[in-house]
Amino acid sequence: MHDDAIVEVKGIGKTYDGGVEALRDVALIFPSGQLSTLLGPSGCGKTTLLKIIAGLIVPNAGEVWIKGKKVHGPGPERAFVFQDFALLPWANVLRNVAFGLELQGVSRERREEIARRHIAEVGLGGFESSYPNQLSGGMKQRVGLARALTVDADIILMDEPFSSVDEQTRRKFQEELLDLLRHRQKTVIVVTHSIEEAAYLSDQIVLLTPRPGTVSRIIRPAIERSKGPDEIRRDQNYLDAVDEIWQILKQYVV
């Protein structure tokens, strides 16, 4: 396994029933403690690849290795934040956030203490007793993120986590996510369809080709992260990354 890799994808291929080839010979390294995004045209296999890394989908070819061990299914070192939130509709915010710890057999007192801390951390303090049908899309997404943080997984996998919110909320979430990561040293892999989001968030951007998805290019924006959000979006390296991504992706747009 590569020295700084926490996740290594080796020759992954996936063909669905009916002969639809989603991915072909995908080989990638995801460095420890970095945020990587998967970006590409619709249907290029981004979410399929993320779910294969999560152990939720079995590939037809290739292997995923995490911390030097081959993946055979889901594991406690990975937490998945779903695009559709995947919250328990009959459980309040506190129980939804604590659910992963409940499955691990953590005592109720301990898991609720940990859950309350992370609920406050994502800005939902005071909503512990609310139910999913009482929350906005942005609040549901915060619950999903808090649940991922609560199980303290080393790797957080996020499938278009900000797609359900307006642009202002999206930017706030992006800033909060980066702020959280600065203090947590998590490895994060995000599926997004936004060029600007990928450039703003990422240490590493993986561009995939149209179906079957293969690795087209890997871009590492040289952005100084100590700058403020507005400064970053005016930074020449950020603007260059956005332009480079667009120049590659526009050839795939019909």
Q: What is the pLDDT of residues 137-183, one digit of tens each?
A: 888 888 888 888 888 888 999 988 777 677 777 888 788 778 777 77
The DSSP string of 58-74 is --SEEEEEETTEE--S-
Percentage above 90 pLDDT, the chain? 46
Q: Is 250 helix (H, G, I), strand (E, B) or coil?
A: helix
CA–CA distance from 217 to each of 38, 107, 248 (Å)? 11, 46, 8
Judge contact between 205 and 241, C-beta under 8 A. yes
Q: Is the confidence at residue 2, as pLDDT, over 70?
A: no
Element of type H or E holding 167: helix 167-184
> What is the mean pLDDT of the segment spanning 224-235?
83
**What is the model's pLDDT at position 61?**
95
Superfamily of domain 1-77+157-163+190-254: P-loop containing nucleotide triphosphate hydrolases (3.40.50.300)
Q: Is the confidence at residue 19, as pLDDT, over 90?
A: no
Q: Is the confidence at residue 3, as pLDDT, over 60?
A: no
Percentage above 70 pLDDT, the chain? 96
Output phi, psi for 212, to 5 deg: -75, 135
Of 64 and 146, which is predicted with more confidence?
64
**What is the model's pLDDT at position 177?**
79
Q: What is the pLDDT of residues 100-122, one digit of tens each?
A: 888 888 899 999 999 999 898 88
Pick from 252, 244, 161, 253: which is nearest to 195 by CA?
244
